[in-house]
Every structure is written in C-alpha cells, then in structure tokens.
Amino acid sequence: MFKSYNADDKLHEECGVIGIYDSDGEDVADKLCYGLLALQHRGQESAGIAVSNGDKVDYHKDMGLVTEVFNKEIVNKLKGNIGIGHVRYSTTGDSHVYNAQPLVVKYRNGSISLAHNGNLVNANTVREMLEDEGVVFQTSTDSEVVANLMARYHKNGIEKSIKKVMGLLKGAYALTIMTDNKLIAVRDPHGLRPLCVGKTKSGYAVASESCALDTIGAELIRDVKPGEILVIDENGLNSVPNDKWCRKSLCVFELIYFARPDSLMGETDIYKSRREAGKILAREYPVDADVVISVPDSGTAAAIGYAEESGIPYTEGLIKNRYIGRTFIQPTQQLREQGVKLKLNVVHENIRGKRVILVDDSIVRGTTSRRIVDMLKNAGAKEVHVRVSSPPVKYSCYFGIDTPNRQKLIAANYTVEEITEQIHADSLGYISIEGLIRSTGKDEELQRSGFCMACFNGDYPMEVPKQSDDDN
Amino acid sequence: MFKSYNADDKLHEECGVIGIYDSDGEDVADKLCYGLLALQHRGQESAGIAVSNGDKVDYHKDMGLVTEVFNKEIVNKLKGNIGIGHVRYSTTGDSHVYNAQPLVVKYRNGSISLAHNGNLVNANTVREMLEDEGVVFQTSTDSEVVANLMARYHKNGIEKSIKKVMGLLKGAYALTIMTDNKLIAVRDPHGLRPLCVGKTKSGYAVASESCALDTIGAELIRDVKPGEILVIDENGLNSVPNDKWCRKSLCVFELIYFARPDSLMGETDIYKSRREAGKILAREYPVDADVVISVPDSGTAAAIGYAEESGIPYTEGLIKNRYIGRTFIQPTQQLREQGVKLKLNVVHENIRGKRVILVDDSIVRGTTSRRIVDMLKNAGAKEVHVRVSSPPVKYSCYFGIDTPNRQKLIAANYTVEEITEQIHADSLGYISIEGLIRSTGKDEELQRSGFCMACFNGDYPMEVPKQSDDDN
Amino acid sequence: MFKSYNADDKLHEECGVIGIYDSDGEDVADKLCYGLLALQHRGQESAGIAVSNGDKVDYHKDMGLVTEVFNKEIVNKLKGNIGIGHVRYSTTGDSHVYNAQPLVVKYRNGSISLAHNGNLVNANTVREMLEDEGVVFQTSTDSEVVANLMARYHKNGIEKSIKKVMGLLKGAYALTIMTDNKLIAVRDPHGLRPLCVGKTKSGYAVASESCALDTIGAELIRDVKPGEILVIDENGLNSVPNDKWCRKSLCVFELIYFARPDSLMGETDIYKSRREAGKILAREYPVDADVVISVPDSGTAAAIGYAEESGIPYTEGLIKNRYIGRTFIQPTQQLREQGVKLKLNVVHENIRGKRVILVDDSIVRGTTSRRIVDMLKNAGAKEVHVRVSSPPVKYSCYFGIDTPNRQKLIAANYTVEEITEQIHADSLGYISIEGLIRSTGKDEELQRSGFCMACFNGDYPMEVPKQSDDDN
Amino acid sequence: MFKSYNADDKLHEECGVIGIYDSDGEDVADKLCYGLLALQHRGQESAGIAVSNGDKVDYHKDMGLVTEVFNKEIVNKLKGNIGIGHVRYSTTGDSHVYNAQPLVVKYRNGSISLAHNGNLVNANTVREMLEDEGVVFQTSTDSEVVANLMARYHKNGIEKSIKKVMGLLKGAYALTIMTDNKLIAVRDPHGLRPLCVGKTKSGYAVASESCALDTIGAELIRDVKPGEILVIDENGLNSVPNDKWCRKSLCVFELIYFARPDSLMGETDIYKSRREAGKILAREYPVDADVVISVPDSGTAAAIGYAEESGIPYTEGLIKNRYIGRTFIQPTQQLREQGVKLKLNVVHENIRGKRVILVDDSIVRGTTSRRIVDMLKNAGAKEVHVRVSSPPVKYSCYFGIDTPNRQKLIAANYTVEEITEQIHADSLGYISIEGLIRSTGKDEELQRSGFCMACFNGDYPMEVPKQSDDDN
C-alpha cells in the first residue's frame, strides 16, 4: 500500500552535491541546508551534511527529505566553515541508511569526507582489488571505493592522490571532497555529471546545479571542467586542470529533465533549450489543435515553446497536487478503478471538447502516458496528440541514472506507431536527436555536441557492460 | 528562526471540509484522506477524520499536514461507512491541537461530529448565552457552539434541530455533520463558503471543492444551495431547502485565489474565470512589454489570459521550490541580505534584458510584491509592470478569511501610485470590480453578481463589527 | 505481539493527581512534572499538566509516561504559578487521548481545570440528567461530568458550587481543581482515594501521596479530610469542612499495594504497616523453611516482616528487569514454552535446594503466581510456600480500581486448597482481615478501621451495581 | 538541563554482547532482543543487532535503550538464524551513532559482523600501523580495528585469522563475531571481560552474562575460557583453545557491581559472593546500630549479608523511582536546594530516630554518598555508618571501565578518615582486598585469585599508559 515517491514513470537522477568554503570562518551548515533544498529534485531518499572547522569533523545524515533530516537544533550543532552536502536517490536494492552520504573517514593524514553524484562503471573491479589486499567495506557506495583509494596514496598529498585515483576510475563522477581544511571539487574527464563553482560573499561554493548557488546568494563563476580538480583553501581557488583529453559528454537528460529550469550548465541555459526543443518539436511534428498543455512541471517549458511556434495557445490542462509527499497511503487497485487519483487532476474547462497537444519531456515505460491520455479523454478531449521533447529512450544508462532494463523501455521494444496505440494517443511525435542538439543552440554533429546521448543511440562514451536481453 | 508556512503575504482560507456516505457499507477513511489531500491548499495546520459504522464513532486528528497526521495503520483503524474530514488553517492565537476538527460529541440521541469552514459573526454572543446556562467549552471553535445548540434542540430530531440552529447563527458556514447514521451538509443562507455534492459508486460525497470529488472518483452533482440542508442516509439524498430568501454572496476570493483552478463552483469555472480576468486586465491595463510571467502557482491562469489577450508571450519567470514544506529553518535577516532565498528563483534567460509583465492574483501587505520585483530587477529585467487580477483589498473579512487589520492592508492606506512606488514597480494595474464580475461570465451589477466583494468595497452582506482604525 | 505494560496479574489504580500553588509567582510546571514522576506508579497510560498565571490557562497532555509526554521545551512553555497534574491508568475500553487529563474548560466565570482520581458510581445517572438538558460530552471521564455540574452552579461562586456538586456525586473522588487563580482539593466523604496537602517554600501542594511532596521538597501537613474542600489562593490555605458525617473508608489496597512504601497516609505509615502485615502473616501461617523471598518490588516490605518474625533469613530470590518498559515486543507462546522470560529471573544460589517462603501482596487471577512458583521449582526449590499479605480478593471494586469480573477472581471461585493446587504451591496462606487491620496499628473492629475492604468481604460503603455472575 | 542517565557516581561498564546460532534455521532477532534487554544494565547508550541467513546480512542499530531502538516491525525485518547483538555505554567523547555496534563489514570472503566488550590498550598503535598502509576508519571503535586485522589475514580462513589477530591485540576483549555462516566467540587471554556459552533448544548462545541465557531459555554450559576461540556452525560447537598461558584476571567489578546478581561467572555465584562480602564487612567493620539498609539496587545483597552476620535487621531505607529513565528534565541547582530530588526517597519510618548502617558497593567520587547521608540525617537518622563492599578505588581502569581520572577518585586523594568527614558519615569501613577475595569462596593470595584488582592496588595484568597526575 505504501509506494516510494519515485515509483513513477520517469528516469531518476541519483544524487546532488554541494560544498561551501567560508574564508571568514563562519559556519556553513545552514547554507548547505538551503543549497540541498534547491537540489532536492535530484534525490529524495536521504540527505546529509559534513562540516569541518579545521580541527574536527562532524556530520549528520539520515533517510528522508532535507526538511525531515535537518532541523534548527541539528544544524546549530554542525560547527565548521568548510562543509559538503548530499541528497540521494537510490535504487531499491541499496536503500539503507548506511549508504547515505557524505561518507566521512579518518586516514593517515586526517579526515576525508566525500559526496558523490554519478556511477563508476569499474567500481566492482576496484573494490575487488582492494578486498584482495584486506580492505573492508561498510557501504555499497562508490564513495567508499574512492575514499580507500585516496588513503592508499596519502603519502603524495591530497591533490596528487586524487590525480592518481582519477587514473583508476572509469565512469561518471562529480565529487565534493572535504579534508580538514580544504574543499575539493572533482569532475570526471567526460563531464557526464554537472558541477559548477560560484563565489560567495566570503568564499566559494560548488554545486551540482547553479540554482543551488542562486539560493545561497552565490554568484556562478563557471562549470568545473571535465577532468578538472578544483582546490579551495586558505590560498583561494586553484585549479588542477585535466592533462589528458577526451570527448565531453554531459548527460543529455540533465538538459531535458533532471536540472531545474532555472539552472545554467556550461554555455547552456536549461530553460531556453527546453523551450527551444518545444519549438523544434512543433516544426517537426505539427498538428492542428485547440490547446497546448504540459505534463507538469517538467514538460512546461517545452509546451510553452511548442505553443509559441505553432500559434496554438498554451494553457494548463492538468493540476498537480503539491501535498502528496514522498510516501503516502497509495490507493489500492480497486480504488483506482473507482477513479481515485491523487497526483493529477484535469482542468475540465481547458480540455472539454478540445483537440489537445500534450507535451511531455520523455516516455520511459509508457504507463503514465496512457493514464494521462485516458484521463484527458474521460474529461472530454476530442483528440490527444502527444509530443515528447526527447527522442525515444532505447538504451540503459550506466552513469548514474536509474533506467529500467531494456525490456521495460517501451521505445526499445515497440515502434512509434505501436506506442501511439498503446498510450491511446491520436498521434505521437518524438523530437529528433538532431532537433534536440539544435535546441541547445548548437548546430553541430552529435559527436561534438558535448552531450552523452547513449540512452537514445547506444553510443556510450566508454565501454559499458554488455546488455543481455533478459537481465533485470 | 522557525516560521509558519503561512507567514506570507497572502490571504488565507481557514478550512476545507469533506463527507462521504457509502451505502454498501465500505469503510470511507481512506477516501476521506485522499479527499483531504485535494483540499490541503485550504488549510495546512491540522487535519482530522471522524467515522461512524452506525454503532460506534471513532476519530483521529492532529496538528500537521494530511500526510503527517495519517498513515496506513491509523487509517485502517478508522472503521465506518460514514465519515467527515477537515483541514484547518488558523490564526496564531488559537493554534492548538484542541481546536483541530472534526469535533466529536455525545449527546442525548447519540453522537454528533462536525467539521466547519467559515466564521460565525455572532459566535461570542451565542457562546455567552450558553455559558449563562452553565455550558462549558473545551475549544475556541465555532463547531463547539453549533454542537451545543444542536444538542439543545435534540427533542425535535436532527433536521429540525439544525433548522432551529440556523435560525440563531449569523455568519459564514459550510458544515459537514455526521450523526451515528446520517451525513448532513449545511451551507449558510448567503452561501459565503463553497460546498458541493457528488455521487460516488455506492453513495454520496460532499466537499468544499469539486476537485476533492474528482480525486475520489465521485461525480459532481451540484452545489449545496445557500441555506440548504442536505441529508444523506439509508433513504438516499434528501434536501431540506431554505424557506427564507437572501442574497447569494459567495466569497469572491474563492474565485480569485483559494479554490484550486480545477474546481467548479456553481456555474463558475474557476480556471476559466481566472484566465478571463487576465484578459480583462490586459484590456484595462495594457502595456508594451516582452514577456508575461506569473507569481506561481496561483497567478498563472490570469497570466496566461493576459498573454493571450495582449499577444505578448507567456513564459515562466519564477521557479518555486516545491520542497520547503510547512516549516523549516528560515534564513536569518543577515543571510537574507547575503542573497539567501528559499522559495522562488528567477529563470534568468526569460528575464534578463526584458520588459516584464508580472501577474499576481492579489496584493495584501505589499511586502512580497516588492521582494519579487527587486528579484526580477536584480536578474536584469529592464522594466517590471505588475498586474493584479483582483481589485485593491481595502476591508477586513469576517467570514472565515484571515485578513490582517486594515492598517496593514496596503490598499487601505495608499493610492495606487504610492503602492507602485513602494513595490518598486514601473507600473501597476488592478482589475476593476466590474471587470472581475465580467470575468465570471456575468454582466450584471454588483448586487446581483452572487459574490461577496466586501473586502474590496466594504459592502458586507450582513452586519459586522465596526472597524476601528487602530484595532489589531 | 504487543501487550500493555499493565497486562499482569495485579489490581491497578486508575490515577494520581497533584496540584501546586506558588505565592511568589514562580512557574510550577517543572515541579508538577517531578511530582507526577513520583506518582507514576499510579498510572502509566497518559500524563498531563495544566497551569494558570491568573490570566491564561495552558495545558499539555498525551498518551505515555511522564518522561515521554514532557520534555524541557514543553515544560518551559507552560507558564503559570498555579497548576495541576494527572497520571492515568485506564481500562482498555476508554484508552484514548481524549480521555487524558487534566480536563480544561471555559465557563461563565473563567476556566476550570480538573484532575480526578477515583470513580463515580452514579456518573451515568448524572450524565443522562445533563444530556436531557442538552449538554454534550467530549470524553468518557468523570471529570467532564463534574466540570459541567460546577458550571451549572456558577452563580454561587466556586466553593458553594463545589459543595452543591458534592451533594450530587456518589462514589470515590480525589480531585485537584484549578480556576484562574485558585487551587482546590476535594476528597469524597468516605475518603476512598487518598489526598494530602503539604507546604512548599513559597506556597502549598496537594498530591495523591506524600512521596510526591517529598520529591518536590514540600513538607507534608496532613491528609485532606474525607468530605473536605481545601481552597488555596492569595489568602493562603482555607478549609471548607464536611458538614455531614459518614464512615471513613480509605481503599485498603492503597495500603497493601498501590501506594509507594515511602508514603504516609493519614496516621498510617505504608512501609511499617506492610512489614507489620508480614509479621502477622508469619504468626498466622508459620512454616519451616530456609529462606523468605518476595515478589519484587511490592511484596518486599511484607517479606522482610515475615523474615523478622519467623527468624528465617530474608533474601532476594527473584530479580526484576528494570528496562522492559511500558510496552515491548512480548514473546510468543512458542517462545515462552522455550523458556523465554523477560520480567523476572531467579537468583539460583538463593533458591537451589531450598525450602522457600514466597511473599506476595495479593493474588488476583492466580496466573502469575503459578508462573513464579514453577520458575522457582525449575530452579531447584525443594518447597515453595506462598504467603499473601492481603486476604482473598472476592469482590469487584467500583471506586476506581480495575478489578476483573468475579469469574476471573480466583478467590471468588475456588477454596484456598484449590488455589494452592492451581498455583502449584506446597502451601498457601492469606493474612486474615483482622490481621490486616491490626497491621495498620489499630485494634478495632472492621467497621471502625477506616478502610474500605469491600473487595474482601463485599461490604461496600455505599450502594453499588448488583453483580450478576456472567457480566464481563 | 538534560543530563545523561549515567551521570551518577558509579563506575560504568562499557558494553554487553550476545550471539545466537539456531541450527533449525529459525530467526533469532527476537531472542537477541530479549537477551539484550537482560544485558541492558551493561550499557544504555546504544543498541544493535546483526543477523545472517547464510546468504545475506542485515542489521539495525541506533542510540537509545533496546526498547527504544527496536520494535516489532524492525525485529520482523531482521531475517536470519545467526545473529549477534550489542548494548553500549560510552564516554561522552565518542557518543555518536556511528560508534553503535555491531559493526558490519564486507571483505574478501563475505561479511564480518562484530560486537565488542572491553578495551584494547594498543588500539591506537594498531590503528596507526593500518593507516600507514592506507586503511580508512569510519568509527572510533576497537571493533573496526579488529575487523580490519581479520580482513588482512583472510587467506588463512577465519579461525586462523582470528588467532593471528589475537597475537597482535593487547587489552580486554570479549567478542561475538558473525560471518555469513558462523558464530564465533572470543575472549582475551586474561579473561578480563566475562563471556559464557549456553545451549538453546536448537543451537547455542553466547553472552556477556548468564542472566541473558536464562532470559532466552538457554542453559548455561560454561564460561568461554580466557584466550579461547569458540566456533559455532553447522558442525556444532568447537573450541580453539588458547595455546599460550597467562594469569586469569576477571575484572573484579563484575563481581562487585556490574553483573546482574542472578548471573554466574565461572565458578563464582555473583549473588552469593556479594552477600558473603557483606558478611565479611560486618566482621571487619562491626558497629552497633538499629537497621541495615542498602543503596538500591546494587548494594542490597551485601546489605542482606551484613544484616545476617551482624544480627541487625535489614530493611529498606531508600526507595528508588523506577520511572526517571535515561534522560529527563533535571532539577536546576535552585530546585535542588529547595529539596527537589528525583531518584531516591527515604522510608521515614525505617530511618527516623535510628542508627543506620548504609551499605553501598563502591565509592568513586564521594558526591552521591554525601548526598545520601545528608538525606538520611534530614529524615531523622541518629547515626549513619557507611560500609562499602569494595576496597577503596585508587587507580584508573584501562580495560573497558569508565573511571574518572585519578584526581577525581576520592580514595586516591584522601584517607578514610578524611572521606568519612567529607561524606558526613559517622563511620566508614571499606572491605579489605583479602576480604573481597575470600567473599568469592577462595582463600588464595591475590595473584592467584583470578581477578584483576588493579583499580584497588595498581597491579595491572599488562602494561598500561603511565598515569600522570594531571591528565583528565
């Protein structure tokens, strides 16, 4: 009867990270909290903060939303002018408090605290190598693998140690690392996961998305570059650049869905590119209709773009209940058949007797799409034309996104015509890959677009596990 | 450091009510829960449910959101095929668990449970009359006054008792009442607070708004009429009509702001009238600009209407953090000065260098408006033109809305020019009262519009306390 | 799997009350808390405190132990120099937070708060009389009946009002009552429930037992007399004596079991009379044995007395686990058969090969006695002689004690010989009624002993319901 | 205002451990819970359980009492027929949930779970050695050091690995270790901390004290021998004996105070030796008096012995409030001066006008002793003669007991005469070391008694840190 908040038909980001260094010595736990609130959409399972005052590290983390895990009393106890924070989404298997982050360890030279967004594809290999040497693990997180590697190389000093560790790791990672007196930000050489740095009144902050910087009153400086190590300490901000080269491959779903629309990523403005995608979609799949509506909230920017381009008015056709929360008593199948529906309701006036264009950002399994189309038709929509601002998702992700196995990806198994029928739509149009690239303001071939689009075309930026057809 | 969720610059509804009668004998507690979730926007302080199985009444109520007060275990314990529910917003003074509703009492003929939305203007007079006769009170709610009056007249049977009670009460009330085997809905003769009735698969449901009926799969039949008593029991649905006449006066702010946009009230479609108000506003206060944005979420329908009428494109300029929750650690003044802001963030791309029309549904104190205008200007807006889809709020409400005293109502004390300056806007336009009436699809004079607009013009539908200028 | 803390084979007191008046104006909530802690043995289901600062009443009450219901923050919010408190044990039927006390009501002349220990035998009659007049009830407590009666007579002033109320009530009651500026203590004319008054540094305190006065540093003055009304206010302590006469009848089980051994009740020293009962028991039922042990903790004083009189050494034979708490995961029947036992364990050295005299204060159903005798025999006891420091319990109580119905009272249904066999003892001796009277230091006939012994002999001090043999 | 439960004037044990292996495959989490309840006196800060079903390890641990950390739902989720449990007391410094045990780690060959009672004197040395090699630590527990060492030697198989680890460790340890399919119990070569093994219906159990075996229905087989490794798996119970020799040195305070009186340790019956110590004390320090009382609960056995030997009657002079719990709102200094006292109250009847012999098990700082003597004198005691059933505590412990530094040990700084005066007693007598040895039923010289008595005489069984006079 209880279901997770995330048990919907969307892809899910697995984490958000933040770090703050205050050179005036002021405590940063409250700002970390506010920053995590702004990143909460990236993970709702657990939240945590670790701080250092140069002398002593303290931390607090638990299952739950930021507002559930932290309160005034807890925040006030976390004393320190350096700190990192983490919000986590997780796959069911490892949903346990011991996997909450940041991970805090003691090693030869003091403490290391880590918060990680991404996924290492060779985590198990490295783990086994370490286990052969007698290392023990207390979690199933990549962070613990990274921390152990860092401690291995402790004699070299922290920057060199991280450099060496990066030489061993394969996969996606955006890391905030705290030592007793440094804040360090690291991004994998492909730049698969986002990470940016900003200036606060009296120091620096790094975060997965710029909206977290906005929230704490920091000014965005730039993205952490793929492969870069940024070290913030009493000497200010220093960069250890990547001395190798590789193709930049930011996860395209950051653009399409994960990132908050008010964030900027590199040269890309999230909101603008989503609206632009809507415009391109309108050109690629025009249809005669009365209204354009979105699946709130993530489809709205594209829907507005579609409306603008097509001249068909945008309106709100679905209202989302804001109070359902992370977990609540879900209606039984019987109740659902009686019409009980918690999350979305139709604005009848805007739908009844209308030909509706419904803009969504993606279709994963197709189950939610069908439910929404049915709901609109029951409310009197004459036609429902579904437009999707991302291409068909056909391949699993290995870089930190919780994709179902390929059997459940509707576009991996059915043609667009079949999907149209399955979701009960009158027509269906997915934006093309080229259109999506153009929506970012670029006009380049896929290889040089700077995005990882493997979930659409299987072109992974590095070797990944072979996908059998029957794995789960 | 902790502030209430409602400490913003909006008017607040004081309650939402629901009732379900299942003639097949199925438990209704889960559906009541879902219905309350759909009414949660009407009150976030406390939530409660009372059920009867014809034999025994049980109830649960506490401070908090529906999702905080109820869980599977609690809902499963509430056995009964008749039930009522309540969500409450409250003024600080009586924010105490003992004021949570429904109120459940035993009297001569069994049990009475009540859930009330509204405000009695003669509650104190009736209360004193009862106290003179030795009655004791355990809460400061109107419900307890009503329950005591009903018990007084117990010899007449429940319908006649309610009839008599209505003869004594003055003010606004939408009541759901449960006896051991009946569900009763009552609406005051002016119809100040909304109440509607619908058909479920195996019974009936009443609720403050039709969106709650939609959520539980019930079909809207009609509004409960002003002054009507609806009795639902083993004999089905029966109406005891109002045998007196008075002017219908639904609170106009239900239309403007309180009701969910997907609700219908009488012949008025909430969404449509809000969008229409936006169109009228565009005609009344046109301005040359680049984009129309709204203060999310309640200003959006009017903004879309404004955009449609003016031809200036609608877009999203402000993103609301959905995770802040009812109470959380609020930034100190110092942090706010450093730019920390939790609730809203600007979509820079849509604002920078633009002339912006900002549509809001109302201005109460003006403090939030100024903060938002400043935020937009800091983000690079060239001009900010504020358009408000309700007329200036100049008078306090006595019928269940938490208006500040007149000293704090900015429009009661300043001219539109002065307000424009105070909120740092480049121009400011309020919809006219006539425009607002027309937005509901009517074209009648105020007296016959069917709405109470006393907060705009002081024309109260019944006598109210004299407003001194220095009361608080 | 979860059982209530009180689901053992003992009689249970239904409440403890306290009241403090501080004439220096200091807050009393913390002291009330400490006093309730000292009375916690009288009721573990709910706890509550109400305070008045002469102007405003506030209260907090909830299900749970004092340490669970109150914390520093809650106590600090309860501002007032007058206050009353309550701990409650309850029969399953009315175990609900709405029955927690104190009850706080508003009436014509201000507020009344009540905390009640006892049971009214005519509560239903009075309740019905009030309901006929239109009164509603929100709880099933006697306190609400009393509060309503008091409000009825409000015109007479509080003391006269209470006097009149006492003329209507039948049964057992020890009440602490708080008005806006008075603390009042009332005890029923039979004095069935204990109540005493003491002097604090700057005021007065009343409590069910003197141990609560000791705990808060107050000095015991005397018992509140049967039928007396004690009024404490700015004029100090004033007594409204009982102007009628009736037989004094303190519940004898206060002496035997309920009261803490360090309390004094009237001229009776609890510890001394329990030890004396042990001595008398030794004379009435001597037996040759090696050790005297008690069922901890309540049988210990009598066991020490038995040992002293018999010359057989007292020792500890059973160790009680102090950490089990109010509710915890109880072993299943299967686990119990495997020998899992949480509450008591045997000190083998003191039992093995020994002839044991086991002193308990009472036998109600007999189930626990058998379990303990078996445990001792399994531990190698050669003989177990059970001695009980109260006479056989044969009749139900109507004055505030939770006795099972007569079918379940082992002594109402079986002879001593049969009970001996049923509990697997080698011999069994109950103290005689005369012996019990003598243990209090008196040497009088039953009628004039000053104790209610109806549970032993059916001689109730007032009319009670007729006991059918099949009621539950 | 909040103080820890343990902030009294007693020495504190730092842990209790338990382990159960069920060869019929039944879940053991509930029994582990009951066993921990029986060991709760050894540690009240945190509690935890880890279980294995041969395939998968799961665990739950948190701050709080067993009854607070576990409930039915949590216990039911812990599936496994092998399990270990832990309760912890801790010094303030490392009171953090991450130090709660059992510690569960993954290593090359599967999982290792550990629960530890004791203290390693060379933990830091080993830790540093491991850190040099790049090991990271997430807790400050000895268990993590042991787990890392075990993982180092994984190639040898678990028994040999433990053997090797024991060769490195110095200090006190009683360990329960769980691998995926084995339960292992290990005791340090000196046997400083207790550990015993018993037979259940369908397997084996190990525990710090035999009272835990009694509670779960297991039959005590014997103590785990100093230096022994006991392995329990599908092959039953197998011993890897210690192949070296050293002096047996069970902590004497287990005997005097820590162990529950119903436990057996090796050939020593705890209750008997405490009572015997009381008898010897009566011979060593006789005094003419009226009553013998104890400081409840731990002084009672000795008090009963003193009474028996002296012929002066034993009685209860102090009543302990059982409901105060681990933390609660402590009286302020001001309230304490007004006589507010939560924990103990005097049974006046047994004290007033009497010459009292007060038997306590130990005096650490002397502050509590003075408070109790004062309380007795205020209650009218004519004389108070303090008798202590342990010799003066003069040296710190390094083996798992939380002794204050020597400056605070009253007997390390003052003569018996001075202490007598400081605690306001009329006379004071400590049992002699020889007397204490004899109380165990032995008549041997200290060296061969089998107990560590270093806290009395500084004769540590192994090298310990040099004690400066000003360390804290």
Closest CA relative to residue A231, chosen from A213, A206, A249: A206
How far D465 CA sits from the closest chain A CA (Å)?
Answer: 23
φ, ψ (nearest 5 deg) of residue D213: -65, -45
Contacts of C137 in chain B (CB under 8 A): 105-107
Q: What angle do CA A130, A58, A229 make, to 5 degrees?
A: 55
**pLDDT, position B446:** 65
Q: How would DSSP label each residue in C55-75?
A: S-EEEEEEES-HHHH--HHHH
Report in angstroms the alpha-carbon separations of B100 from B60, B63, B449. 10, 7, 34
The predicted model gives A104-132 an average pLDDT of 95
Task: Check residue A258 and report its DSSP letter.
Answer: I
pLDDT digits (tens, 9 = 90+) for A65-77: 999 999 999 999 9
**pLDDT, position A8:** 59
Q: Give the nearest partner residue to D261 out of C260, C316, C341, using CB atoms.
A: C316
Q: Per the structure block, which two tokens stand in for A444?
A: 């380049």
Mean pLDDT lowest among A303-312, B5-14, B397-406, D22-31: B5-14
The three state secondary structure string of A270-290 is HHHHHHHHHHHHHHHCCCCCC
How far C170 CA sits from the closest chain B CA (Å)?
Answer: 21
pLDDT digits (tens, 9 = 90+) for D318-374: 999 988 865 677 888 888 888 888 899 999 999 999 999 999 999 999 999 999 999
φ, ψ (nearest 5 deg) of residue C293: -125, 165
Question: First and final CA of chain D: distance in angstroms?
Answer: 24
pLDDT digits (tens, 9 = 90+) for D281-314: 999 999 999 999 999 988 999 999 999 999 999 9
Q: Among this protein's residues, is C246 annotated catalytic?
A: no
A11: Cβ contacts below 8 Å, ≥ 6 apart: A253, A257, A258, A362, A364, A393, A397, A401, A402, A403
- At A427, which amino acid appears? S
φ, ψ (nearest 5 deg) of residue D337: -65, -25
At C439, is the secondary structure helix, strand, or coil?
Answer: helix
Q: Per the structure block, which two tokens stand in for B466?
A: 């004299």
Closest CA relative to residue C324, chosen from C8, C38, C72, C14: C8
Distance CA D253, CA D86 (A): 20
CA atoms A165, A166, A168, A170: torsion sign: positive
**pLDDT, position A348:** 92
How far A173 CA sits from the closest chain D CA (Å)?
Answer: 21
Q: Give the nearest partner residue to A105 out of D106, D132, D137, using CB atoms.
A: D137
Q: Give the nearest partner residue to B339 out of A217, A262, A313, using CB atoms.
A: A217
Cβ atoms of D112 and D150 within 8 Å: the answer is yes
Q: Which of A57, A136, A141 to probe by mutation at the D interface, max D CB count within 10 Å? A: A136
- What is the b/e burial string over D63-91, where b = at least 16 CB atoms within 10 angstroms of the residue's CB? bbbbbbbbeeeebeebebbbbbbbbbbbe
Burial bucket for residue D235 (CB in 10 Å: 0-12, 13-18, 19+): exposed
Contacts of B154 in chain C (CB under 8 A): 134
- What is the b/e burial string over B355-393, where b = at least 16 CB atoms within 10 angstroms of the residue's CB? bbbbbbbbbbbbebbbbbbebbbebebebbbbbbbbbbb
Reply yes or no on whether the pLDDT at D447 is more than 90: no
The three state secondary structure string of B342-371 is CCEEECHHHHCCCEEEEEECCCCCCHHHHH
Pick the more confident residue, B326 or B157.
B157
Contacts of C322 in chain D (CB under 8 A): 40-41, 297, 322
Judged by CB atoms within 8 Å, which residues 325-364 of C form the interface with D?
A: 325, 328-329, 331, 335, 338-342, 345-350
Place of tokens 């104790």: C451
Helices B142-152 and B158-168, packing angle to 10 deg: 130
Reply yes or no on whether the pLDDT at B394 is more than 80: yes
Contacts of D211 in chain C (CB under 8 A): 319, 345
Whether D136 has its CB under 8 Å from any CB of chain C: the answer is: no
- Reading chain C (472 residues) residue by residue, the pLDDT tens digits are 222 333 457 777 779 999 999 999 999 999 999 999 999 999 999 999 999 999 999 999 999 999 999 999 999 999 999 999 999 987 655 778 889 999 999 999 999 999 999 999 999 999 999 999 999 999 999 999 999 999 999 888 999 999 999 999 999 999 999 999 999 999 999 999 999 999 999 999 999 999 999 999 999 999 999 999 999 999 999 999 888 878 889 999 999 999 999 999 988 899 999 999 999 999 999 999 999 999 998 899 999 999 999 999 999 999 999 888 656 778 888 888 888 888 999 999 999 999 999 999 999 999 999 999 999 999 999 999 999 999 999 999 999 888 888 888 999 999 999 999 999 999 999 999 999 999 988 777 666 778 999 999 999 999 887 765 444 3
Q: Nearest residue of C to residue B112 by CA position?
A: C136
Place of tokens 């006449």: B245
Distance CA C360, CA C349 (A): 21
Asked if residue D297 has a cis previous peptide bond (ω within 30° of 0), the answer is yes
Distance CA B49, CA B51 (A): 7
Distance CA D299, CA D356 (A): 14
**pLDDT, position D327:** 60
**pLDDT, position C8:** 59
Contacts of B329 in chain A (CB under 8 A): 30, 33, 70-72, 75
Within a 10 A sphere around the Cβ of C236, how many other Cβ atoms? 11
Map out the domains of chain B with their CATH numbers: 15-246 (3.60.20.10), 269-448 (3.40.50.2020)
Whether B151 has its CB under 8 Å from any CB of chain C: the answer is: yes
Asked if residue A297 has a cis previous peptide bond (ω within 30° of 0), the answer is yes
**pLDDT, position D468:** 54
Distance CA D35, CA D59 (A): 16
How far A394 CA sits from the closest chain B CA (Å)?
Answer: 31
pLDDT digits (tens, 9 = 90+) for B107-130: 999 999 999 999 999 999 999 999
Reply yes or no on whether the pLDDT at D7 is more than 60: no
Distance CA B116, CA B86 (A): 8
pLDDT digits (tens, 9 = 90+) for D180-204: 999 999 999 999 999 999 999 999 9
pLDDT digits (tens, 9 = 90+) for A1-27: 222 333 457 777 779 999 999 999 999
**pLDDT, position C2:** 28
pLDDT digits (tens, 9 = 90+) for B317-338: 999 998 886 567 788 888 888 8
Burial bucket for residue D371 (CB in 10 Å: 0-12, 13-18, 19+): middle
**pLDDT, position B334:** 85
Question: First and final CA of chain B: distance in angstroms?
Answer: 24
- At A356, which amino acid appears? V
Distance CA A399, CA D413 (A): 65
Distance CA D2, CA D65 (A): 17
Contacts of A152 in chain D (CB under 8 A): 134
**pLDDT, position A466:** 73
- E strands, C321-444, are 344-346, 355-360, 383-388, 427-430
- What is the b/e burial string over D239-272, where b = at least 16 CB atoms within 10 angstroms of the residue's CB? ebebeeeeebbbbbbbbbbbbbbbbbbbebbbbb
Q: How would DSSP label each residue in C442-453?
A: ----GGGSSEE-
Whether D322 has its CB under 8 Å from any CB of chain C: the answer is: yes
φ, ψ (nearest 5 deg) of residue C273: -70, -30
Reply yes or no on whether the pLDDT at B468 is more than 80: no
The predicted model gives B281-300 an average pLDDT of 96
Q: Give the nearest partner residue to C331 out of D34, D41, D71, using CB atoms.
A: D34
Distance CA A97, CA A62 (A): 6
φ, ψ (nearest 5 deg) of residue D339: 100, 5
Cβ atoms of C316 and D261 within 8 Å: the answer is yes
- What is the b/e burial string over C433-454, where b = at least 16 CB atoms within 10 angstroms of the residue's CB? bbbbbbbbeeeeeeeebbbbbb
Q: Nearest residue of B to residue C144 by CA position?
A: B136
pLDDT digits (tens, 9 = 90+) for A244-287: 878 889 999 999 999 999 999 988 899 999 999 999 999 999 99
Contacts of A216 in chain B (CB under 8 A): 338-340
Q: Per the structure block, which two tokens stand in for A188?
A: 């994998």
Cβ atoms of B329 and A71 within 8 Å: the answer is yes
Q: Give the nearest partner residue to A131 out of D107, D136, D147, using CB atoms.
A: D107
**pLDDT, position D297:** 87
Chains D and B lie in contact, requiring 3 or more CB pairs less than 8 Å apart: no
Reply yes or no on whether the pLDDT at D3 is more than 50: no
Report in angstroms the alpha-carbon separations of A305 from A159, A272, B183, D471. 45, 9, 49, 72
Mean pLDDT lowest among B241-250, C90-99, D271-280: C90-99
Helices D158-168 and D142-152, packing angle to 10 deg: 130
Judged by CB atoms within 8 Å, which residues 365-424 of A form the interface with B?
A: none
The mean pLDDT value of chain D amounts to 91
